[in-house]
Amino acid sequence: MNTEHVIDKNFPGVKELLAKTFPSYRGRKLKLYIQENISFDDINWDGGSRTEYFLVNTDTQEVQKVANHKAPWTQYAYDAAQPRAIPKNCIIVSQGCFCGKMGGINFTVSSQTALAQAGESIANILVTGPQRIALT
């Protein structure tokens, strides 16, 4: 099940994640996706568009960028586009660029993350719909 929530950058943890992943981002378009799998699509430039991904380990606060330097016709690019399970201790932070215009920031987490156990349960989040919630 995939769910989408609009979040606010003033909640604890959000500014810290942005500082570690996209420090120059000054926008307000922030979304949280709760899903079990993710595909790292569009990691290479194609017609002025691409998506950058960072993996943030919530246990160690380590940040790792998903590499995007391989040619799009290689096995690497094919493998990157295959659905991957999202670890429960991981927040995936991404930003897309479409035709040279930067988009908002997306935070993608598994329903098994600490986010699901901290504060309200995932069931309550789903019932109340889009709302502001903290990421850490």
User: In which domain, by residue range, is 10 found?
Assistant: 3-128
Q: Exposed e or buried b for every residue in 30-41, given b needs 16+ CB within 10 A? A: bebbbbeebebe
Residue 135 included in any domain: no
Q: Give the model's pLDDT for residue 130.
A: 41
Report how many domains make up the chain. 1
Residue 32 included in any domain: yes
Question: Torsion-angle region of residue 48: left (phi > 0), alpha (psi -120 to 50) or beta?
Answer: left
Residue 74 included in any domain: yes
Residue 133 included in any domain: no
User: What is the tens place of the pLDDT at every residue in 51-65?
Assistant: 889 999 888 888 988
User: What is the tens place of the pLDDT at every residue in 52-103?
Assistant: 899 998 888 889 888 765 665 666 656 667 788 888 888 899 998 888 788 8
Residue 136 included in any domain: no
Residue 54 included in any domain: yes
